[in-house]
């Protein structure tokens, strides 16, 4: 094998690039890992001496960064320099759904992928292995190849440039990303250059058994990521659709989930009811899959996958409407505590969080939201809810429009609240002091458990009304 890897560059210091490269640096101390991002604020946070201020919260991440940062793990904005000296480059940038133009609302926006490919072609030197790490539509690698080949032909700066493109999609579950990286179910590598595939395989084999490394062609690798997320999201939408039926019939969704989950043909995973799936991938990837199916004339298939997203959005809206209904048909001027704003526990990621949709729907009704999340900060909430008036503690002001504020604890958020809505399954929400909380609420008070994590009988024993998803 003639390819020697000494320096790796990762373009993108987000939820995938940052943790992935941290683990790579920790397990491969012989490699120099440079993570670059044009967002100066994000890079400053990665380099902050206070590890609690890292831009991403993942259990175990801070400890790894502490071990490797400044040794063989580096964060910077020096794109040109790090591309030039890299033997392998990971592309880990955002690929959001297009908001306008062809494919708007479904297709992935590949402008950052395009920009990365052109930068790589311009500044790279010698043989460079380019690895797709972002979730991408099928045949994006082909586009990257064309850009690299076209651009390198125009370059006169270096005598020799050669590129190999691989697909290496991530299968990380936020909140469990470090464990997923250390002990993956599988590592998928797609490509048509056997030598480059072997190089990446050998890097992963420093800590992963080669039996768990699957090698495919480029297109199979890219499609596998979309399909995996679609299947997982489908299970969530399926169990949430059944939760509404349970509420109408008197069945308990937890009992139904247990009953079907013990069937080995189905399995227990992703059968927990909730307010709907969130995060950066599920919705985006399903919409992209639906778009691809439409593109190839498979309209019935496209419609099938679109329905998974539709059910998810319906669940968000159903819960917010139910809250209004239970609070006597109006929440104008009332205070509601929102417990949890990240899309799931053990992460500070709020992208596509069900809490956003629920909060917006409630504020449209004119209520005041007191929000508490152990890891989400004020600026994050501000970016999605905006500055809608100022928070006022006066109730019965029927002219007030919706507003929100961020609180420091479960209990401060609940003072004089008419209702508490649990929207994220953080462990501390499973151990609430209900006796203390009940004294602070305005009666009659409601507890809405959208995550199925509370003991209904215990909560009711303190004189509180309870609604739990899939039970009613």
Distances (CA, A) of 20 to 16, 110, 326, 364: 6, 21, 45, 40
Q: One of 10, 68, 281, 367 is an active-site residue; which one? A: 281
Is 28 tagged catalytic? no
- CA dist 390 and 462 (Å) reads 32
Residue 127's DSSP bridge partners are 162
Catalytic annotation present for 254:
no
Is the alpha carbon torsion for 81, 82, 83, 88 positive or negative? positive
Sheet containing strand 368-372, strands side by side: 403-406, 368-372, 335-339, 419-422, 446-449, 465-468
Active site (annotated) includes residue 317: no
User: Which residue of the set 145, 225, 344, 375 is catalytic?
Assistant: 225
Q: Find out whether the peptide bond into 444 is cis, omega within 30 degrees of 0.
A: yes
Q: In this structure, are residues 345 and 424 in contact, taking their beta carbons and an 8 Å threshold?
A: yes
Active-site entry in 58, 132, 151, 170: 170
Q: How far are the Cα atoms of 18, 63, 472 from residue 54, in angstroms, in the given order?
A: 10, 11, 39
Residue (of 212, 125, 204, 130) closest to 166 by Cα position: 130
The alpha-helical segments, DSSP class H, found in 337-415 are 354-364, 378-385, 410-414
- Spatial separation of the C-alpha atoms in residues 362 and 336, rounded to whole Å: 9
Which positions are annotated as active-site residues?
A: 170, 225, 281
């Amino acid at each position: 094998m003639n390819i020697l890897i000494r320096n790796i560059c990762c373009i993108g210091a987000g939820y995938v690039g940052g943790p992935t490269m941290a683990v790579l640096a920790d397990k491969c101390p012989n490699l120099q890992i440079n993570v670059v991002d044009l967002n100066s604020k994000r890079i400053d946070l990665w380099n902050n001496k206070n590890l609690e201020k890292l831009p991403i919260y993942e259990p175990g991440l801070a400890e790894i960064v502490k071990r490797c940062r400044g040794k063989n793990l580096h964060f910077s904005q020096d794109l040109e320099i790090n591309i030039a000296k890299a033997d392998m480059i990971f592309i880990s940038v955002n690929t959001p759904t297009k908001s306008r133009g062809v494919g708007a609302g479904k297709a992935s926006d590949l402008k950052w992928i395009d920009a990365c490919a052109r930068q790589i072609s311009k500044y790279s030197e010698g043989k460079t292995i380019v690895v797709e790490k972002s979730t991408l539509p099928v045949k994006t690698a082909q586009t990257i190849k064309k850009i690299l080949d076209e651009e390198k032909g125009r370059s006169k700066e270096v005598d020799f440039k050669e590129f190999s493109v691989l697909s290496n999609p991530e299968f990380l579950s936020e909140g469990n990303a470090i464990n997923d990286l250390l002990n993956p179910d599988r590592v998928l590598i797609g490509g048509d250059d056997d030598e480059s595939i072997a190089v990446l395989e050998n890097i992963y084999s420093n800590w992963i058994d080669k039996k768990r490394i699957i090698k495919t062609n480029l297109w199979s690798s890219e499609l596998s990521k979309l399909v995996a997320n679609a299947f997982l999201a489908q299970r969530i939408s399926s169990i949430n659709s059944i939760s509404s039926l349970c509420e109408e019939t008197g069945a308990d969704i937890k009992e139904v989930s247990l009953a079907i989950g013990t069937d080995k043909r189905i399995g227990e995973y992703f059968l927990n009811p909730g307010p709907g799936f969130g995060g950066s991938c599920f919705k985006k990837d399903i919409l992209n899959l639906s778009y691809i199916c439409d593109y190839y004339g498979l309209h019935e298939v496209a419609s099938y996958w679109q329905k998974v997203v539709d059910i998810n959005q319906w669940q968000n809206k159903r819960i917010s409407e139910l809250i209004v209904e239970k609070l006597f048909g109006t929440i104008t001027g009332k205070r509601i505590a929102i417990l949890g704003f990240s899309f799931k526990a053990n992460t500070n990621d709020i992208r596509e969080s069900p809490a956003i949709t629920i909060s917006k729907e409630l504020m449209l009704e004119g209520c005041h939201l007191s929000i508490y999340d152990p890891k989400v900060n004020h600026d994050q909430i501000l970016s999605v809810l905006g500055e809608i008036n100022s928070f006022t503690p006066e109730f019965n002001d029927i002219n007030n429009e919706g507003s929100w504020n961020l609180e420091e604890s479960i209990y401060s958020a609940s003072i004089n609240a008419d209702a508490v809505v649990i929207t994220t399954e953080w462990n501390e929400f499973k151990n609430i002091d209900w006796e203390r909380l009940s004294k602070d609420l305005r009666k009659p008070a409601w507890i809405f458990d959208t995550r199925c994590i509370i003991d209904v009988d215990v909560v009711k024993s303190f004189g509180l009304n309870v609604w739990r998803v899939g039970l009613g």
